Chain A
Amino acid sequence: MALFSINNIKISGVSACVPIHEETNWDFDLLNENEKKLLIKTTGIEKRRVAEKGTTTADLCFTSAKTLLKKLNFKANEIELIIFVSQSPDYFLPSTSTILQDRLELPTTAMAFDINLGCSGYVYGLSVISSLMTTTKIKKALLLAGDVSSFSINKNDKSTYPLFGDAGSATVLEYDENCSQMHFNVQSDGSGHQAIIIPDGGIRNPLTKDSFIEHKIEKGIVRSDRNLKLNGTDIFNFSLREVPPNVNELVAYANEDIAEYDYFIMHQANKLMNESIRKKLKFESEKVPYSISKFGNTSSASIPLTIVSELSNKLEKGRNKLILSGFGVGLSWASALVTTNNLICTDILEYE
């Protein structure tokens, strides 16, 4: 089982950047007024940020990283490891992390690679970067996570378009022999890989002219095979079934008391689903922040975006014990127990 603890690594700072262009689901005309109301009430998603054509996830993460390093007063040449977590890379190849090494002027002695994950990606990324740092004793590292999901979503698909927003984040981690342990419970189940999928464009189904043909699936759902396709009820079932036991196992493994945790920060998928998970884990509402009404589902950026948007004032002061949990596309899911101490956060950055 991928249940493990990491010593000597702390999260020093978090930053998030969203495109300046905002859309609201009240303007989503594929739905009538009652349907809009029901969608917003159920999913909790009112507004989303949408990237201009040509803006990539790397651009949003670059802005986050640059601003955060400046705020921390860290020099680019101190960063020895950079990981980019995304499912919307700049190119098929080379990896986006390598391009960002150069754009951020990190030294060529830095290790750089990408991780291809979505909703679970931030917690997965934390587990990988902290594991590497603790074994290599690398002192400072950058975890970038985000997606420009709007690139793959059909505007005429009511089952996806109103749900997703674009965002990119940056997290700086440091080696520190005096910090608390981190604990992880990391899982996967590829039998559910059809539940969220962009069918065409990889090598299994290469892009052809047919990939761009738009099919009417049902009323309000038009998409092509290069568009993202989502089976909401299957994801809902998966999340309710898998996330609460994953968190409970982790807390038991770490020999911790769930009641002593200050905040439970979930991937922002769907308010009704997240609230069901919260109730199953018996967390008080005050401990469970949401940024979903403002930004929608921002894939692997959702946890750092929620930290920056909803908790920065609280986490900037003193020690806070956090449970983080990401779940979705893959299927893939992961939770972490982390302790922050005077966490440095930037404001929510806007990309023009």
Chain B
Amino acid sequence: MISLEKFIAHIENELDDLEPGTLTANVNYRDLESWSSMYALIIIAFVDSEFDVTLTGDDLRNCNTITDLHQLVKNRS
């Protein structure tokens, strides 16, 4: 599993219209101004293809930060 920093960089890259630097380790991603359900789909697709972990809607709802998400993927992969 890649480091948290790399994980954040990858996710930020996937969400390409996100202002660089706005996605930090401990920000609640749902509070981002441009957060949308499309981002949820993009994250599920990315995590599935890179780490072979298929996140559920509940997983995304139960996590608040990218740090939580990174931990969850790490535990499952």
Contact = CB atoms under 8 A, between A and B. Distances in A.
A107 interface: no
A35 B38 CA distance: 9
B17 A37 contact: yes
Interface string B37-74: 11011101100110000111100100000000000000
A35 B44 contact: no
B40 A233 contact: yes
Contacts of B49: 276, 279-280
Please tell me the size bucket of the interface on A. Answer: 20 to 34
B38 A38 contact: yes
B36 interface: yes
A273 B41 contact: yes
A38 B16 CA distance: 10
Contacts of B48: 240, 276, 280
A232 interface: yes
A231 B55 CA distance: 14
Given A34-B17, A240-B44, A233 B38 contact: no
B3 interface: no
Contact of B57 (A233, A241, A272, A275): A233
A67 to B, nearest CB: 37
B34 interface: yes
Interface in A22-72: 34-35, 37-39, 42-43
A270 B42 CA distance: 11
A109 interface: no
Nearest to A34: B17
B41 A35 contact: no
A159 interface: yes
Contacts, number: 55
Given A34-B34, A38-B36, A232 B54 contact: no
Contacts of A275: 45
A280 B55 CA distance: 15
A73 interface: no
B53 to A, nearest CB: 10
Given A237-B54, A240-B54, A273 B36 contact: no
Interface in A177-201: none
A310 interface: no
B17 A237 contact: no
A256 interface: no
Contact of B44 (A37, A159, A236): A236
A37 to B, nearest CB: 7
Contacts of B42: 42, 272
Contacts of A279: 49
Nearest to A275: B45
Nearest to A239: B54
Contacts of B38: 35, 38-39, 42-43
A236 B36 contact: no
Contacts of A272: 41-42, 45
A233 B54 contact: no
Interface in B12-43: 17, 34, 36-38, 40-42
A234 interface: yes
A241 B57 CA distance: 13
B45 A237 contact: no
Given A237-B54, A273-B45, 7 more contacts: A35-B36, A38-B36, A42-B41, A232-B37, A232-B40, A241-B54, A272-B41
Interface of A: 34-35, 37-39, 42-43, 159, 231-234, 236-237, 240-241, 270, 272-273, 275-276, 279-280
